[in-house]
Structure 1
Amino acid sequence: MSEKKFVPVMITPFTLDGRVDYDGLSRLTDFYLAAGAKGLFANCQSSEMFALTEEERLSITRHVVRHVSGAMPVVASGSFGDSLEDKAEFAKRIYQTGINAVIMISGHFAGKKESDEVLISRFAKFFDLTAAIPMGTYECPRPYKRIITPAVFTYLLSTKRVIYHKDTTIVFDKVKVKIDLAKNSRLEFYDACTANTMRSLQAGAKGMSAVSGNFYPEILVWMCDNATRPEKQEEVLYMQEQLTRAEAVIANGYPASSKYFLQKRGLPIERITRNKKIKLKKKNIQALDAMYQTFLGWCDRIGIEPVRL
């Protein structure tokens, strides 16, 4: 049975004046490691990458790579730029930070109304421009969510350049089609949808890469470790139901909600984000406080110790 992995989509801690908090980023990275993560996705949407400068994108990625010092693989989004040539140049720069793969944001390579054929042709040119750099794909909701269809996914697999895929399709039957296509390939398939955790892992996904792991990564790690174990199915089903129900609470005000929750857990970071529209209301904080107690109850139920900070 192949190892299942939880790969956090890393948030970016900021200081009170809005600068990247690199000490906080180090502590956050250590927290993910202690929780049992088997990889890290830096410079992603949870990192507020669209609100970072180009140099900040490179700097946070480089910092994480140096901090883990080979303890686990790190991937990072790297398809920024106006033209394909610009995107390729940035991909080369971020790959030089030491990451294991450059993640291509699917919405960066074709407009909403452009066909899969156009998307494939641009991926092909991008591959030509980036030599042998290992790649991954991410159906990021921004600039718009471009779902990679089975036809495009089949093409990507055929190139043997793509080793990672973060899927945001959500509809499980459609997710499973791509999981099945990825079997017996070098590509590692990660589902971003917490509600799919149990089914995706049981269907053959390599792991999970969900925002819920920025609240209680230990639970996602436990699910990865136990989803396919016959003797654990009652607890797995219980935890899946709990995780799905909790999504409505943690999604409000994200990623500030995550930063507040991690503060409550003892991580010394601010809940500052660069999106000024995100504000946690009193009712959101009360719901997160209750969620924290619920999380501790989950740990008791499944017999794990939460990471002490």
Structure 2
Amino acid sequence: MQSPPAGIWPVMLTPYDDGDRVDLDVLDRYTDWLIERGAAGLFPVALSGEMYELSHAERLEVAARVVARAAGRVPVCAAVAEPGSPDETADRVAELAAVGVDIVVLVASVVLAEQDDESALRTVVDAVLRAHPDVVLGIYECPLPYHRVLGDETVAWLAHTGRFAFFKETSHDVERMRARVAGATGTPMRIFNAGIESFAESIAVGVSGLSGWVANVYPDAARDVFDAAHRGDAARAESLQASLVEVEERMGPTYPGSAKHLVELRAGIGMRTSSRWRPAEVDATELARVREAAEAEVRAG
């Protein structure tokens, strides 16, 4: 099994039309835009894509549409967002694999209830591995419905099954990322940081890329941070990273609508600001300033 490509894996936003239906035409254009701006892979059906607010059928529809539009240009992963028994989880894995995603991602805080001991994860994973020996898997420390940060030993165990290739880690602790990278050494698993605030520093300890909020709006600028860090240009990486941290902070109160508005400002693809997860009125004037400041920093490079 091959490891996923290093770089930027945007957690894709889900566009809606004026009837609150998933807008598949805008999703197509958004997929193209992210790939054209340097995404190494795509992660629809994640928290930023409002996975918990999508129906089961919509989650499959979104994943299938992104796979079809990407058409092999980049790999696509998508998450199992429904709790269930080990066998039910295995069935959900099969459904996502059937629509063509390259990596089916298990969500730590969905597979495990808050009161569960972490050992329960192994029972679920064993059932999935037995049922689907050919499916490539991932793991995601989604902060909702609660934030489950896995133990480093568990992460290493997942890596050494040889079946997990993608780990979206949300500890926001660079030293912990170092330990997780070490634990996955010699396996296909690659660690992806969810936090832009530590991205350049995490590259230095072996993290393979970014899969976080700002990547769905500025995949190109996040890629510039990645490239600068890899060529040893710390000043450029840190300056651009600081600009992207500010973007996240300023769009945070009305996210994901704010991110959708910024995508529309940058791409002009017909992305509406509507959200089922966190509906909020965005401040268009403030977001125009955010865009201007961030793009001035990008141009400065």
TM-score between both structures, scaled by the size of structure 1: 0.91
Q: CA deviation at 1:124?
A: 2.0
1:132-211 superposed matches below 5 A: 132-211=134-213
Is 1:109–1:123's contact at 8 Å kept on the other side of the alignment?
Answer: no
User: How much does 1:214 deviate?
Assistant: 1.9
Contact 1:13/1:20 (CA < 8 Å) preserved in 2? Answer: yes
- The one-letter code matched in structure 2 to 1:22 is L
Which stretches in structure 1 are left out of the alignment for 5+ residues? Answer: 303-309
Residue aligning to 1:226: 228
Deviations 1:234-285 (A, max 9, x none): 111211222223321021211101111112222311111113x52125xx43
How many angstroms does 1:79 deviate by?
5.2
2:105 aligned residue: 103
Q: Distance in 2 between matches of 1:44 and 1:237?
A: 27
In the alignment, what sits opposite 1:259?
A: 260
Query: Contact (CA 8 Å) 1:105, 1:140: kept in 2 or not?
Result: yes
Unpaired stretches in structure 2, ≥5 consecutive residues: none
- Tell me, yes or no, if the aligned pair for 1:81 and 1:90 is still in contact at 8 Å: no
Report the Cα distance in structure 2 between the residues aligned to 1:3 and 1:45, rounded to whole angstroms.
22
Alignment partner, residue 297 of structure 1: 296
Deviations 1:176-204 (CA, angstroms, capped at 9, x unpaired): 21122223321121101111110111211
CA RMSD, Structure 1 to Structure 2 (Å) = 1.7
**How far apart are residue 158 of structure 1 and its match?**
1.7
Please say if 1:245 is aligned against 2:229: no
**2:214 aligned residue:** 212
For 1:261 and 1:65, the matched residues in 2 are separated by 24
Aligned residue identity for 2:259: S
Q: Is the 8 A contact 2:138 2:165 kept in 1?
A: yes
Deviation for aligned residue 1:127? 2.2
Cα distance in 2, alignment partners of residues 21 and 170 from structure 1: 33
- State whether residues 181 and 190 of structure 2, in contact with CA within 8 Å, keep that contact through their aligned partners in structure 1: no
Map residues 26-105 of structure 1 onto 2, 5 A cutoff. Answer: 26-78=28-80, 80-105=82-107
Aligned to 2:236: 235
SS at match of 1:104: strand
Deviation larger for 24-33 or 116-125: 116-125
- What is the distance in 2 between the residues matched to 1:42 and 1:246? 21
1:118-129 aligned at under 5 Å gives the runs 118-129=120-131
Structure 1 range deviating more: 106-115 or 77-86: 77-86
Q: Give 1:114 deviation, angstroms.
A: 2.0
Give SS of 1:49's match. Answer: coil
Structure 2 CA distance for partners of 1:79 and 1:252, relative to 1, 3 Å: closer
The superposition leaves residues 115-139 of structure 1 with CA deviations (integer Å, 9 ceiling, x where unpaired) of 2222223322332233331110000
Shift of 1:3: 6.8
TM-score (norm 2): 0.93
Instruction: Report how far residue 81 of structure 1 moved.
Output: 4.4
The offset of 1:83, in angstroms, is: 1.9
Provide the rounded CA distance (Å) in 2 between the counterparts of 1:245 and 1:48. 23
Residues 5 and 40 of structure 2 are in contact (CA less than 8 Å); yes or no, is this contact kept in structure 1? Answer: no
Question: How far apart, CA to CA, are the structure 2 residues paired with 1:44 and 1:3?
Answer: 19
Runs of 4+ in 1 over 6 A off after TM superposition: none
Q: Distance in 1 between matches of 2:48 and 2:78?
A: 12
Amino acid at match of 1:244: V
